[in-house]
Amino acid sequence: RKEVEQDPGPFNVPEGATVAFNCTYSNSASQSFFWYRQDCRKEPKLLMSVYSSGNEDGRFTAQLNRASQYISLLIRDSKLSDSATYLCVVNRNNDMRFGAGTRLTVKP
Amino acid sequence: GAGVSQSPSNKVTEKGKDVELRCDPISGHTALYWYRQSLGQGLEFLIYFQGNSAPDKSGLPSDRFSAERTGGSVSTLTIQRTQQEDSAVYLCASSLVVGQGYNEQFFGPGTRLTVL
CB distance B43 to B91 below 8 Å: yes
Residue B97's pLDDT is 73
Percentage of chain A beyond pLDDT 70 is 99
Residue B25 pLDDT level (bands cut at 50, 70, 90):
very high
Least Cα separation, residue A64 to chain B (angstroms): 14
Specify whether the CB–CB gap between A2 and A96 falls below 8 A: no
Backbone angles phi, psi at B12, to 5 degrees: -110, 130
Residue bearing the bigger pLDDT, A82 or B98: A82
Give the range with max mean pLDDT: A32-41, B50-59, B75-84, B103-112: B75-84
A contacts of B42 (beta carbons < 8 Å): 6, 87, 98-101
Q: How many residues does chain B have?
A: 116
The half-sphere exposure of A41 on its side-chain side, counting CA atoms within 13 A, is: 3
Virtual CA dihedral for A5, A22, A11, A20, nearest 10 degrees?
-170
Put simply, the answer to whether A43 touches B110 (Cβ < 8 Å) is: yes
For residue B104, the chain A residues in CB contact (below 8 A) are: 34, 46
When pLDDT is cut at 50, 70 and 90, the band that residue A62 belongs to is very high
- Residues on chain A bordering chain B, Cβ-to-Cβ distance under 8 angstroms: 6, 31-32, 34, 36, 42-46, 87, 89, 91, 93-101
Please judge whether B100 and A31 are an interchain contact, meaning their C-beta atoms are less than 8 angstroms apart. yes
Residue A2: pLDDT over 80: no
Do the Cβ atoms of A43 and B109 come within 8 Å?
yes
CA distances from A15 to A18, A80, A84, A106, B5 (A): 9, 6, 14, 6, 35
- pLDDT of A7 reads 87
pLDDT of residue B43: 86
CB atoms within 10 A of CB A104: 21
pLDDT tens-digit readout, A38-53? 998 899 999 999 988 8
pLDDT band, residue B58 (cuts 50/70/90): confident
- Can you point out the beta strands (E) in chain A? 4-6, 11-14, 19-25, 32-38, 45-50, 55-57, 60-65, 70-75, 84-92, 95-98, 102-107
